[in-house]
Structure 1
């Protein structure tokens, strides 16, 4: 994938090929993934199906990462069903043209998000510059795989939401394909 804009595109084919899949990781990888997620992602993204903001972070700037693995790009606009966050037209177009958040594309995005965003869009105010370390990205991806229904951790996330008002009427995005 090549980026748009004035930056120098990265040759991802040398690092991640299209069929690349996250290697299985144990609890140690998953625990590192939680820590790395909190450091790099939690400030802007929710892990909850309803996209609510946690008390520990400003997670209302980006769409929820609940069930992100295998999801079509650009289909969520922030909090599920509320449309509070503008997903870039460019990312929506990429999704309409078949971009799916599979393991390879998530790794590429975490390495350098610029090819996935329209750098000329003044509505996109993302400060995330990417994570160069492949091991850290694998740790985060291992954690992201647990943010879905029927995963023990994902079930715990859903259980914690049952008492929230925002839980009523929330889809779990279960109709979307999972990796």
Structure 2
């Protein structure tokens, strides 16, 4: 009986903590260096890619004064909104989420890097 009294709380603690990766905006800033050639997150300035300031909650393909690919505009028109889930999928493999996007970046391989970049972007999306 004591075994179960110890095992149950440990199991619940593990299950509660395993749902999502911890997000670290500082580490995300470091990973975002890979994105800086094309994107800015802390100001509303488009570069080769659109500004990512305010990206969380934004409908895909809708940032003002940026010339999106027809594929990205269509994705937004079909309901793609940037949030943790959609950004996670997109940052992992952009062309799987929006085929024919003009973004050439192949994606981030590590789940931890993706979670951290999203945490970094959230700082500029409030």
Computing the radius of gyration from Cα coordinates, the structure with the larger value is 2
More helix by percentage: 2
Match of 1:137 among 110, 114, 118: 114
Q: Partner residue of 2:69?
A: 88
Q: Partner residue of 1:44?
A: 38
Q: CA deviation at 1:72?
A: 0.7
Q: Partner residue of 1:171?
A: none
Match of 1:109 among 84, 87, 90: 90
Matches of residues 17-166 of structure 1 in structure 2 within 5 Å? 25=23, 29-38=24-33, 40-51=34-45, 60-76=47-63, 80=64, 83=65, 85-119=66-100, 124=102, 126-149=103-126
3-state SS of paired residue (1:127): coil
Structure 1 segments unaligned to the other structure (5+ residues): 1-20, 53-59, 150-179
| Equivalent residues of 1:22, 1:103 under 8 A apart | no
TM-score, normalized by length of structure 2?
0.75
2:49 & 2:90 partners in 1: Cα distance? 14
Over the aligned positions, Cα root-mean-square deviation in angstroms equals 2.1
Q: Deviations over 1:14-64 (max 9, x none)?
A: xxxxxxx96554xxx2211110011x2111101244316xxxxxxx10001
Whose relative contact order is higher, 1 or 2, with alpha carbons under 8 Å and at least 6 apart? 2
TM-score, normalized by length of structure 1?
0.54
Structure 2 segments unaligned to the other structure (5+ residues): 1-18
| Equivalent residues of 1:45, 1:61 under 8 A apart | yes
| Equivalent residues of 1:22, 1:142 under 8 A apart | no
